[in-house]
Structure 1
């Protein structure tokens, strides 16, 4: 076996006086690599390739990175962030594949950046891991060559890949190049062409029709713009999903698990080809999780592969698991990977001979899925969840294999679809919303399981065995004084200690704190705020009426207003006709709120408008006010006391809004058209104010009166009012229907209940 070049001295001395150019320092492994170099290699300078993000420059991003807790002692010793950057951290603004010129005084190029998602779109995977790698190596050659292109300096290029570039092989995987004859140039061209092909398919009339109808099924009542916005969102999502599927299938057709490992494998081939006259090392980490010791036990950034499963089990969301119990889950702590990579950087490989290293644990200290299950179960038995979703009995996994679990998931999906169909016909109530939330919880759990098992299914049955003899030889060659802070022998890991005392607490404790904080905030959510005084005329508060401010509906208010002027016989006949038409009205309301309102307004034909207004003022007003919610009244008055312009927006006819004139500054209602004698024609004087019409009205009103909609408020109960609520900065869903409840939960809006039937005396509401 070819052994790697040994380390002949301490790492700090071997890297002393050298400049390491690094990519990926804003990522998980890259951040700790930068920390380790700055902290343990005082004679080494760095240059970091970082892209700007929005209005934040690359320099600002690096400064923010160095402001993190782990860098504090290093920053203080250097005299501040800017002093540290001036002395040891050069910032190169750029990205992959748009790589700028690299410093000509570099000695080591450490490429740690890359798309780490297992299921990126195929074009994105190739753009980052293949084209980006080619661009970086091209710039490296330029930096080390003279004006004639002659190489005058031989750099050490260290490439961080993944152990899973081995693909769907089984058995022992050596630390060597993988044998395959895939043409990375041809595959790259095809991957980029796939994006154009799928983008064109997404704009086909047939596909757009399918997507538009899906959007209309949910949003037709809210209006055409809302529907078109959702259609475009669905189109973009469809494109992304098709690109992901194309990448997955292409990878599997050639022997890789997914497009991530496929593109990474081709990236390795790019390195071998373009780095023939460099010193080249490739390090392949397995599943990198939280640090065992450095910078402190449990240091981690974000969730990694195993973490969602651990959390889901603790929450009682995983009754079973489709992994092979004796399959190895090849976990390695982040600090072991960082130490190994820096040891690789300190070697001097032979020019033209690529050195490969595995960063893994499975060869000499295997942790099986059965083993990790026992550690996780033992931890949660001692530290159960008591907040958030509540304590749940821990499941006992029998590892039945994927088929029974897939069948259960299929049945579960059918049940959720049937439940949602039934709920679409259920009357609005707290119980209905509770059922909807339970269905949503189940759907979210199934979505998580489906995605996770689809993404990681093959890894759960993995029979890969990553040989790490060369990595062990490199560790063994460490100077004795370096083995404490730079060691990376995976055989030394005590899995019980690591899993139960370091890693699981590291990922669960922040979640527990977050859930506790969320529970404290639930009493008063973000968009339902305590009101602060504002300059009069600068902030508005828009309120829907039916179902929001008062408990009633358009049909009911029609009967209130219309029946009194009819004879007893005609009243009975009218009630019967309305009852007979209710199914049609409900169908119209489900399809188009404006059409539904027009059908109700037609029934006012022949009514005396003046008599109707008199009847409302003298008789109906107390009944209307009694149906108002005391909470709504208090909130309206709070807005008025704060100097906010209060607006009532409703689909009921204007005579029925007369009792509210003392509460609102402006009332937007349906105006009935009349003939010369003052009799209603059954038509309106303008379109009903529903859906997107309300949003347009608010925008126009705000423009005319100089109102800041971003500071304004909106209150409504129906999904049809989604455009109106989207218009203001502080939207609140009041006793919402299922559609609005789901939208509010997705957007983080407040959801509140305003019970009607006020017990307050009428004089308090008038």
Structure 2
């Protein structure tokens, strides 16, 4: 009696299907596909690009035709020139005499899109449909449009091209559909190379999926949803102004629509037994292929997780990051503390060149008309790799070849224990709650360099948590998958390759070992670019992007240099300035009384500033009622000027002088009352400040002559001034410290955040503006009053 494990039975899979009656190869691929025209979609993608390279390199008598969509101003031909300029096409390009010559001599370019497919040439023999939405969580309408509607449109055009005017087929094309092994959904156990049994009405599901966008768009415009989004935007942007708040409200609405469309797709897929909307719509696409292709030759290729190449065009070739790369790099940086995988679950990885070779071999077969053939291209059947094995090899690689972790050296690699999905979810949820609490506390902390550092640390933590949440949500099901993809058809096909084709077209996934592939091929490939960029950043340092070297600036008088005052070039605030200006003229009892009243009103002032800075300034300036404006100006000129100038940042002073030396018009724009800006007039060409209204005796009324220039009104002033004086704002500069100045900073081409509050610091990071710290060391203590 022999003992056979389920795994042994699965790997051997000898009785699953009869190989003898499957379409096999009876010659060399270059001969079998000679004179054929293969129409391809998705050629600008990962698999499609290598498929084109393989045809151009190893199938000299085969003509590839490519369906490529226009992208903005770049037409299909322009995009294909960009493709064939890539390094892997060097030999083919040089042999043809250049990229344009290569297109003219070997490649038919057809401009079109899915599902808007143009009429196809009638001399096509094979159609390879590589295009498709490969994101696991696309919006539901987009997934159906690409993977279902687009597939049907392509097949309809293909059949039309091969038919006469009466609709009768004059030639039988071979349609090769590139799907995914994970169309099996949430099944367990062995998955045969056959259609998946289900009773889903793909036409009804497609209609409902496409309708979801209109439904969710309508819901996003209800008063309840708009009120919720507007209040969220106001909490963050109220100080900046109504237009900024409105723009952020609309941004949040659009993001909400996208998130709800993604959620709708995920929930619908899982309610019917699939992991996500990607695999769900790909499965429905297979049903479309079977029905539309009832009278033609149809093959369906189902790759597993496609990663970098094993051999061709060179070991480790990859375009962009696929499924595993972000996780591998996060682990190497010490940012992936655990993973919700079952350690003994198989992670079914297959190199890209094996997939491409299998596709071309399938193209050379002739399946029976109306009987689609299915091929699994995967490694789990005969060369299984578990998550435990993958983790150990990746860990060994990074221990031997660590990524730089910053000034402290190599990142510390976490040690995984595979505690299960529930434990990982609890850890992540706890971390998210702790981060949210810390962020709320930090929001109430006073502004300082330490507060900004804590905020940066929190933002980095938030980024890591968001990364973990997204990827754990996407891959949780795959990490615990118990699918076993039978690959008898694929094995029979690879065994039928001509001996001379074995070195260049082989796709038997049992021929390589995982130690070599992961540690010597895949990991070095995906980390090379990262290491190069890290090294470049270390050499260059954190070079500013908007804090430009003015000695080389040629904008001259066509540029402005606009500076805020409080907190930007000076360490002061309007309440402190008011006390400087008013207390010295008062008797000691009146000083004590005035100071007490200001302190009593301080909480109300702070609340007003959080709501609207203009309201706050008006409230403070009411206290100037009764002051003699002329006497105030004289006091500033004769007594207060040294105190004001002592609070001027030396860094700011140097920067202002650099702008003047470059010929820029320097502008001080502030909500401070004009008398207090008088000591700074020599530094600026234009001073925009708040003007105190006076009565007929020259005494201040407590009101202003016009609204204070804050928030969006500063941006409006800049735009108007620029129009009047032929100023190019795209070449101009602005410096500010407060989130309320976001509109002003956004109005110029070179915005700089100076010792910013947390909200502006985050906005600067999002807009790639330079952030600088301008230190100010006053020569007089803050409590000392001018005499």
Alignment of 1:708-747 (within 5 A): 708-747=728-767
Rounded to whole Å, the distance in 1 between the matches of 2:555 and 2:374 is 68
Rounded to whole Å, the distance in 2 between the matches of 1:640 and 1:149 is 76
SS of structure 2 residue aligned to 1:110: strand
SS of structure 2 residue aligned to 1:435: helix
> Quick check: 2:555–2:731 contact (8 Å CA) kept in 1?
no
> Quick check: 2:333–2:405 contact (8 Å CA) kept in 1?
no
1:682-730 per-residue CA deviation (whole Å, 9 max, x = no partner) reads 1111111111111111111111112111111111111111111111111
> Quick check: 2:339–2:472 contact (8 Å CA) kept in 1?
no
Alignment of 1:62-73 (within 5 A): 62-73=80-91
SS of structure 2 residue aligned to 1:490: coil
Rounded to whole Å, the distance in 1 between the matches of 2:295 and 2:182 is 26
In the alignment, what sits opposite 2:116? Answer: 98
Structure 1 position 252, deviation (Å): 0.8
> Quick check: 2:28–2:498 contact (8 Å CA) kept in 1?
yes
Structure 1 position 658, deviation (Å): 1.1
Rounded to whole Å, the distance in 1 between the matches of 2:172 and 2:106 is 22
Rounded to whole Å, the distance in 2 between the matches of 1:579 and 1:391 is 51
State whether structure 2 residue 30 is matched by structure 1 residue 30: no
In the alignment, what sits opposite 1:561? Answer: 581
Alignment of 1:296-445 (within 5 A): 296-388=314-406, 390-445=409-464
SS of structure 1 residue aligned to 2:283: helix
1:243-275 per-residue CA deviation (whole Å, 9 max, x = no partner) reads 111111111111111000000000010011001
Rounded to whole Å, the distance in 2 between the matches of 1:467 and 1:197 is 41
Rounded to whole Å, the distance in 2 between the matches of 1:388 and 1:534 is 36
State whether structure 2 residue 525 is matched by structure 1 residue 506: yes
SS of structure 1 residue aligned to 2:515: helix
> Quick check: 1:112–1:160 contact (8 Å CA) kept in 2?
yes
> Quick check: 2:67–2:112 contact (8 Å CA) kept in 1?
yes
1:25-69 per-residue CA deviation (whole Å, 9 max, x = no partner) reads 111111111111111111111111111111111111110111111
Moved more, 744-753 or 174-183: 744-753
State whether structure 2 residue 71 is matched by structure 1 residue 53: yes
Rounded to whole Å, the distance in 2 between the matches of 1:45 and 1:85 is 11
In the alignment, what sits opposite 2:184? Answer: 166
Structure 1 position 534, deviation (Å): 3.0
State whether structure 2 residue 622 is matched by structure 1 residue 602: yes
1:292-314 per-residue CA deviation (whole Å, 9 max, x = no partner) reads 11111111111111111111111
> Quick check: 1:388–1:515 contact (8 Å CA) kept in 2?
no
State whether structure 2 residue 557 is matched by structure 1 residue 542: no
State whether structure 2 residue 697 is matched by structure 1 residue 672: no
Compared CA separation, residues 535 and 499, structure 1 to 2 (3 A): closer
Rounded to whole Å, the distance in 2 between the matches of 1:516 and 1:140 is 50
Alignment of 1:273-292 (within 5 A): 273-292=291-310
> Quick check: 1:23–1:113 contact (8 Å CA) kept in 2?
yes
In the alignment, what sits opposite 1:764? Answer: none
Structure 1 position 489, deviation (Å): 0.5
> Quick check: 1:533–1:643 contact (8 Å CA) kept in 2?
no
Compared CA separation, residues 533 and 193, structure 1 to 2 (3 A): closer
Moved more, 23-32 or 562-571: 562-571
In the alignment, what sits opposite 1:763? Answer: none
1:360-409 per-residue CA deviation (whole Å, 9 max, x = no partner) reads 10111111110000001101111112244852322111100011221111
> Quick check: 1:15–1:43 contact (8 Å CA) kept in 2?
yes
Structure 1 position 117, deviation (Å): 0.3
Identify unmatched segments of 5+ residues in structure 2: 1-16, 781-787
Rounded to whole Å, the distance in 2 between the matches of 1:603 and 1:291 is 74
Alignment of 1:105-116 (within 5 A): 105-116=123-134
1:518-555 per-residue CA deviation (whole Å, 9 max, x = no partner) reads 34444422111112343543111111111111111111
Rounded to whole Å, the distance in 2 between the matches of 1:60 and 1:758 is 60
Choose which of 182, 193, 197 in structure 2 pairs with 1:179: 197
State whether structure 2 residue 288 is matched by structure 1 residue 270: yes
Compared CA separation, residues 302 and 47, structure 1 to 2 (3 A): same
Could you tell me the TM-score, scaled by structure 1's length? 0.98
Rounded to whole Å, the distance in 2 between the matches of 1:453 and 1:280 is 36
The count of corresponding residues between Structure 1 and Structure 2 is 760
Compared CA separation, residues 144 and 75, structure 1 to 2 (3 A): same
Rounded to whole Å, the distance in 2 between the matches of 1:181 and 1:24 is 29
SS of structure 2 residue aligned to 1:305: coil
In the alignment, what sits opposite 2:661? Answer: 641
In the alignment, what sits opposite 1:465? Answer: 484
> Quick check: 1:104–1:143 contact (8 Å CA) kept in 2?
yes
Structure 1 position 596, deviation (Å): 1.0
Structure 1 position 21, deviation (Å): 0.9
Structure 1 position 759, deviation (Å): 8.2
Compared CA separation, residues 166 and 659, structure 1 to 2 (3 A): same
> Quick check: 1:251–1:262 contact (8 Å CA) kept in 2?
yes
SS of structure 2 residue aligned to 1:99: coil
> Quick check: 1:388–1:519 contact (8 Å CA) kept in 2?
no
SS of structure 1 residue aligned to 2:362: helix
SS of structure 1 residue aligned to 2:558: coil
Rounded to whole Å, the distance in 1 between the matches of 2:529 and 2:438 is 34
Choose which of 470, 481, 495 in structure 2 pairs with 1:476: 495
1:565-612 per-residue CA deviation (whole Å, 9 max, x = no partner) reads 222221121111111221111111112111111111111111111111
Rounded to whole Å, the distance in 2 between the matches of 1:533 and 1:741 is 26
SS of structure 1 residue aligned to 2:688: strand
Moved more, 538-547 or 512-521: 512-521
In the alignment, what sits opposite 1:490? Answer: 509
Rounded to whole Å, the distance in 2 between the matches of 1:543 and 1:507 is 44
Rounded to whole Å, the distance in 1 between the matches of 2:537 and 2:629 is 52
Moved more, 380-389 or 647-656: 380-389
1:324-370 per-residue CA deviation (whole Å, 9 max, x = no partner) reads 00011101111111111111111122211101001110111111110
Rounded to whole Å, the distance in 2 between the matches of 1:695 and 1:479 is 71
Compared CA separation, residues 140 and 237, structure 1 to 2 (3 A): same
Moved more, 162-171 or 309-318: 309-318
Rounded to whole Å, the distance in 2 between the matches of 1:220 and 1:520 is 41
1:59-96 per-residue CA deviation (whole Å, 9 max, x = no partner) reads 11110111111111110000111111011112111111
Compared CA separation, residues 669 and 220, structure 1 to 2 (3 A): same
In the alignment, what sits opposite 2:174? Answer: 156
Rounded to whole Å, the distance in 2 between the matches of 1:686 and 1:293 is 73
Moved more, 439-448 or 182-191: 439-448
